[in-house]
Structure 1
Amino acid sequence: MTAATVTSKGQVTIPVDVRNRLGLESGDRIEFSFNETTGRYEVFPATRSISSLKGIVKKPDSPVSIEDMNRAIAEKGASAR
């Protein structure tokens, strides 16, 4: 297990092997999330390039027109009332 020391100012130097596995570089931000199940904090990179989002959303089988999008939004809005 990799360890680090907290300074009197609450700062920690993240060990190089941890930075490499998380893909962190100088200036990147990280987030801390408490996992209720395990009772532990988890660390996540908060800075990602826009290109890392490529492929997350599947392309539709056929193009959707602006009119179709507006109609779907209006229908959802009407059903939410």
Structure 2
Amino acid sequence: MPRVTTKGQVTIPKPIREELGIEPGDEVAFEETDAGYTIRKQEPTTAEGGDPFEKYRGSAGSDHTMPERMRRLRGTYPRDVDREAEDADSEADV
């Protein structure tokens, strides 16, 4: 059975953390019920209570696929794989 430390901290048992999906750094909420209190994982929020990721939703809108965008960001573009294979075969014949 977990005990409260002098700092008011308690360790949430691993099976409960796993069931609730609680990981280090996550916030939890205690909610009062008729039977006492319940604990649940708190979704990330900003200081104003909003979703911290909302401002980024849709900002990567593009007709390109993610691999295409990553290649462009990295400065690498798709290679002609068939041509490279032919070049390697012709070099092997020499």
Per the normalisation by structure 1, the TM-score is 0.50
Distance 2:40 2:16 in 1: 11
Coordinate RMSD, CA, aligned: 1.6
Match of 2:68 in 1: none
* Percent of matched pairs sharing the same residue: 38
Distance 1:16 1:7 in 2: 18
**Structure 2, unpaired ranges of 5+:** 45-50, 52-94
Give the alignment of 1:27-66 within 5 angstroms.
27-35=25-33, 37-38=34-35, 40-47=36-43
Which structure ranks higher in relative contact order (CA pairs < 8 Å, sequence separation ≥ 6)? Answer: 1
Per the normalisation by structure 2, the TM-score is 0.44
- Structure with greater Cα Rg: 2
**Structure 1, unpaired ranges of 5+:** 51-81
Runs of 4+ more than 2 Å apart: none
Match of 1:7 in 2: 5
Q: Which amino acid aligns with 1:34?
A: E
- From 22, 25, 37, the equivalent of 1:24 is 22
**Deviation for aligned residue 1:13:** 1.0
